[in-house]
Amino acid sequence: MKYRSAFDIIGPVMIGPSSSHTAGAARIGRVARTLFGKLPTKAIISLYGSFAKTYKGHGTDFAIVAGLLDLDTFDERMPKSLAIAKDLGLEVVFQAEEAVTDHPNTVKINLYGGDDELELVGISIGGGTIEITELNSFPLKLSGEHPAILVVHQDRFGIISAVTSVLSKYQINIGHMEVSRLDKGEMALMVIEVDQKIEDMVIEELSNLANVSKIIRMAE
């Protein structure tokens, strides 16, 4: 389906019991943490499909929270993540939803901290492979497998060309790119996955472009 090698089917080095329900869930949580940029004070985790039915038995609950704590899939603290989160002041609420989604392993994560909020929808495809399908109402396709940047900007003529020109200047090759917008002329989101690490000077130059309001960098 979306496998690139036998290692994707076997799955990553991980704390079990399931690559889809544990490792994939942890990776979704970690992407949410990366995009939020800090430890949230509250997380509402809405689970759908098989995630909703088996999340306690398959460790999906502690795996997602482990990701929110920025723990990797092989971290031995993963099974203790719920207790660790409580000690750190992270309130976690789980909701098993009955709504039917396009993929059986779907989770929506709402994060809160101070004045900041984030809503993310992710799916666990199998073997630890994931896809982020929605961010703050923006539809997108983000695998978390490659270095990436998310460019929040105003929907204006020439902004896509300006961003890609900066990447070309630094010889950064684009592997995947998509743009979505809430409405014509309003806020838009550019998702760009690349083949190499994006240095600070590139982020700074992109941030200084006209009509760019925020750059979020995701390391591999």
The domain that contains 30 carries what CATH number? 3.30.1330.90
The pLDDT value given to residue 6: 31
pLDDT at 99 over 90: no
Mean pLDDT for the stretch of residues 30-42 = 93
The pLDDT value given to residue 220: 56
Q: Which residue, 83, 45, 49, is CA-closest to 64?
A: 45
Q: Same domain, yes or no, for 214 and 170?
A: yes
pLDDT at 8 over 90: no
The pLDDT value given to residue 7: 32
Q: Same domain, yes or no, for 98 and 164?
A: no
Share of residues in the chain with pLDDT > 70 (%): 90
Q: Same domain, yes or no, for 166 and 77?
A: no
pTM: 0.79
Mean pLDDT of the chain: 87
Q: Rounded to the nearest 10 degrees, what angle do helices 159-169 and 200-207 cross at?
A: 160
Tell me how many domains the chain contains: 2
Residue 26 tokens, joined: 């942890």
CA triple 43-146-24, angle to 5 deg: 45
- 25 domain-assigned: yes
Q: Same domain, yes or no, for 19 and 119?
A: yes
Q: Same domain, yes or no, for 125 and 161?
A: no
Separation CA 176–CA 182 (nearest Å): 21
Domain that holds residue 182: 148-218
Q: Same domain, yes or no, for 117 and 158?
A: no
- 1 domain-assigned: no
